[in-house]
């Protein structure tokens, strides 16, 4: 197991998944606090990196495209303080960060995890029910319906129609955009048969965002809805893939045999030139540690 504890948060890798827990430091963003602990399975990772600086460094996870509904709904537009897949590392902990990176990379190599996109979400998205207030309204989601309610700052043309209740079955898409410069952001829902090109200020299916502290909380609502919609990369016309049933974990003898087979495979790949000497040594060490 590899673990790094920082003011920004704690990352723990147990060989099968990374557990990301936000820190309690006052600089931790409201979105990361509200999102809470995340468990990222190894199969959802495309890579991990560590960047050193003079005073602090940064750990970064790269997830496979389509693995996380939060990243899908926000389109990679989460600013650095709100990105749960980054961790600020103090200079005296650089060695620990590098060790964690090595452990994760060895596991990715050992398990032959592909870096390409997936056609189903590998993370569950935020828990429901949840609600967020920002900009000109409040968005709530209970797992079946989205409710949009307006406040005194809402444009009269939108507020006059009253609050909106959108059934999940009628929602075909959701997106979150942050405010950038003089351009306002939004949380917008696309509804079957109700498309509009109106700006968020007038769109009854959108909450307009003005760049304030709580704007990122709307991304959690977007992610919770996104997790329950059809995956964008799923083949059309197919029913949703059911959750896999729990499979009993094989006993220690089966694990041992599997690791021996993996050692033989690595040796074959090394002899054939697919793996370099360094890659073979790292992968072999990872297998031996598991044994």
Residue 149 pairs in a beta bridge with 138
Q: Which strand (E) or helix (H) includes residue 188?
A: strand 185-191
Per residue in 212-256, pLDDT (tens digit) is 999 999 999 999 999 999 999 877 655 444 444 444 444 555 556
pLDDT of residue 206: 95
Instruction: Measure the CA–CA gap between 199 and 12, rounded to whole angstroms.
Output: 43
Mean of pLDDT over the chain = 87
From the list 157, 207, 152, 153, the residue with the least C-alpha distance to 185 is: 207
pLDDT of residue 251: 53
From the list 9, 2, 3, the residue with the least C-alpha distance to 87 is: 9
pLDDT of residue 143: 95
Tokens describing residue 8: 């920004």
Per residue in 184-198, pLDDT (tens digit) is 999 999 998 876 678
pLDDT of residue 245: 40
pLDDT of residue 197: 74
Lowest mean pLDDT among 31-45, 154-168, 245-259: 245-259
For residue 264, pLDDT over 80 is answered with: no
3-state SS assignment for residue 99: helix
Lowest mean pLDDT among 40-49, 124-133, 258-267: 258-267
pLDDT of residue 142: 96
More confident residue, 254 or 92: 92
Radius of gyration of the CA atoms of the chain, in A:
22
Average pLDDT over residues 249-264: 60
Give φ, ψ of 151 to 5 degrees.
-120, -175
pLDDT of residue 50: 97
For residue 124, pLDDT over 80 is answered with: yes
């Amino acid at each position: 197991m590899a673990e790094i504890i920082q003011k920004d948060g704690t990352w723990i890798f147990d060989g099968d998944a990374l557990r990301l827990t936000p820190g309690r430091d006052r600089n931790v963003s409201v979105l990361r606090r509200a999102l809470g602990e995340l468990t990222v399975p190894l199969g959802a990772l495309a890579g991990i990196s560590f960047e050193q600086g003079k005073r602090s460094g940064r750990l970064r996870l790269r997830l496979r495209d389509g693995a996380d509904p939060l990243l899908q709904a926000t389109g990679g537009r989460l600013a650095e303080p709100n990105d749960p897949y980054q961790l600020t590392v103090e200079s005296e902990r650089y060695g620990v960060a590098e060790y964690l990176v090595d452990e994760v990379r060895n596991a990715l190599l050992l398990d032959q995890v592909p870096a390409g996109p997936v056609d189903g979400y590998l993370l569950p998205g935020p828990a429901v029910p949840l609600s967020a207030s920002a900009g000109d309204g409040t968005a709530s989601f209970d797992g079946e319906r989205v409710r949009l309610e307006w406040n005194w700052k809402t444009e009269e043309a939108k507020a006059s129609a009253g609050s909106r209740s959108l059934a999940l079955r009628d929602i075909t898409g959701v997106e979150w955009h942050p405010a950038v410069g003089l351009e306002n952001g939004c949380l917008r829902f696309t509804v079957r048969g109700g498309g509009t090109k109106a700006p968020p200020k007038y769109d009854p299916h959108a909450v307009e965002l003005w760049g304030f502290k709580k704007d990122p909380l709307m991304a959690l609502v977007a992610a919770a809805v996104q997790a329950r919609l059809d995956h964008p990369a799923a083949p059309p016309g197919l029913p949703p893939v059911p959750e896999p049933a729990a499979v009993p974990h094989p006993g220690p003898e089966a694990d041992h045999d599997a690791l021996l087979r993996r050692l033989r495979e690595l040796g074959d790949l090394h002899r054939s030139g697919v793996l370099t000497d360094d890659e073979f040594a790292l992968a072999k060490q990872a297998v031996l540690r598991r044994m």
